[in-house]
Amino acid sequence: MKIQIFPSPSAAARALAREIARSVSRNPRLVVGLPTGRTSIPLYAELVALCRSREIDFSKVTTFNLDEFVGVPPDDPRSYHAFMRRHLFDHVNLSAHRTHLLNGVARNMADECARFERAIDRAGGIDLMVLGLGRNGHIGFNEPDRSLVTHTHRTRLSASSRRANAFLFGHRVLRVPHEALSMGMGTILRSRRIVLFVTGRSKAHTVERVIGGRLTTRVPASLLQLHRDVDVWLDEAAASLMSSS
Ligand code: GLP
């Protein structure tokens, strides 16, 4: 794992947006995996700025989002679909048929997950997977457990993840769905390159467990150590407990 530390969340977001722009200029048809969550908001703001100044051209880029809540329709403002429109899709020249998200109200969730996996395969796999990190060590919605799931699947959210997502539900944790659809650990690990993007002191302990050496399904992101091309992009606060690893 290659670790990069930046002085602030905004510096990290700016650098990562520029790195994505470089990857897109090398390969205009880049297939990118995208996270949601508060950490990603400054990253998307930087990408929007780069698109406005024509330093990135999304016209041939394909995206796949990591996850979506079960029971929340795509047009609901609380959905991850709406989050992505608000922060990125409505402001850049991505073409709608190249942005892919899971449908949290699909009639048959197993079919929906299989459809998503096929779409990733048809796109040639994910070139660059950008991941956020849950405080409990989740990536996507692969939650800490005795075992983890390989493929895109329906999953139950932990209390920690429901609290972390309350900001989308009027800060009312009881309104956060109990289930989500998420790419699996195999889906993520099959990406050619992975960037784990983490900011803030509240994640410092989790970061230390993710990169500290041990692999455990209790910290799903620790399995990223198995991948040969992972960058961990941190601000100083998120890196503050790393020396103990
Ligand atoms: C959310 C999402 C993840 C995201 C992570 C971090 O619940 N399911 O894909 O990366 O948790 O969120 P935040 O940046 O708000 O801490």
* pLDDT at residue 203, rounded to an integer: 97
State if residue 134 touches ligand 1 by the CB under 6 angstroms criterion.
Answer: yes
Q: Is 62 in the pocket of ligand 1 (CB under 6 A)?
A: no
Q: Which amino acid is at 65?
A: N
Average pLDDT, the chain: 97
Smallest CA separation from ligand 1 atom 13, residue: 37
Residue 138 has pLDDT above 80, yes or no: yes
Q: Is 39 in the pocket of ligand 1 (CB under 6 A)?
A: yes
Nearest to 99 by CA among 150, 65, 137: 65
Looking from the CA of residue 165, the nearest atom of ligand 1 is 7
pLDDT digits (tens, 9 = 90+) for 42-65: 999 999 999 999 999 999 999 999
Report residue 242's pLDDT band, with 50, 70 and 90 as the boundaries: confident
Give alpha helix (H) positions in 88-245.
Answer: 109-122, 159-164, 185-189, 204-211
* Residue 12 within any structural domain of the chain: yes
pLDDT tens profile 175-188: 999 999 999 999 99
Within a domain: 235: yes
pLDDT of residue 244 exceeding 70, the answer is no
Number of domains in the chain: 1
Q: Is the CB of 35 under 6 A from ligand 1?
A: yes
Asked if the structure places residue 197 within a domain, the reply is yes
For ligand 1, the distance from its centroid to the CA atom of residue 139, given in whole angstroms, is: 7
Indicate whether 245 belongs to any domain. no
**Span 213-236, mean pLDDT?**
96
Nearest Cα residue to atom 1 of ligand 1: 37
How close is the Cα of 130 to the center of ligand 1, in Å?
11
pLDDT at 243: 66
Residue 30: both structure tokens together: 């880049």
- Residue 67: both structure tokens together: 């996850």
Does the CB atom of residue 155 touch ligand 1 within 6 A? Answer: no
Percent of the chain whose predicted confidence (pLDDT) is above 90:
98
Ligand 1 atom at shortest distance from the alpha carbon of 141: 8
Residues known to be catalytic: 67, 136, 138, 143
Please report, for residues 29, 96, 103, 196, 242, the alpha-carbon distance to residue 20 in angstroms, rounded to integers and kept in the order given: 12, 19, 26, 13, 25
Q: What is the pTM for the complete model shown?
A: 0.96
CATH of the domain at 221: 3.40.50.1360
Q: Whose CA is nearest to atom 9 of ligand 1?
A: 140
The four Cα atoms 120, 123, 125, 130 give a dihedral, to 10 degrees, of -80
Does residue 90 sit within a domain?
A: yes
The yes-or-no verdict on residue 172 having pLDDT over 80 is: yes
Which residue, judged by its Cα, is nearest atom 3 of ligand 1? 140
Instruction: Tell me if 140 CB under 6 Å of ligand 1.
Output: yes
pLDDT of amino acid 223: 98
Q: What is the pLDDT of residue 51?
A: 98
Compute the distance between CA of residue 19 and CA of residue 32 in angstroms, rounded to an integer: 12
Tens digit of each residue's pLDDT (9 = 90 or more) over 140-158: 999 999 999 999 999 999 9
Residues 6+ apart with CB under 8 A from 31: 61, 62, 63, 64, 120, 123, 124, 125, 126, 127, 128
Distance CA 56, CA 48 (A): 9
Q: How confident is the model at residue 99 (pLDDT cuts 50, 70, 90)?
A: very high
DSSP assigned state of 216:
-
Range of the structural domain that residue 68 is part of: 2-240
Cα distance between residue 50 and residue 21, in whole Å: 8
User: In the predicted model, what is the mean pLDDT of residues 26-51?
Assistant: 98
For residue 245, name the pLDDT band (cuts at 50, 70, 90).
very low
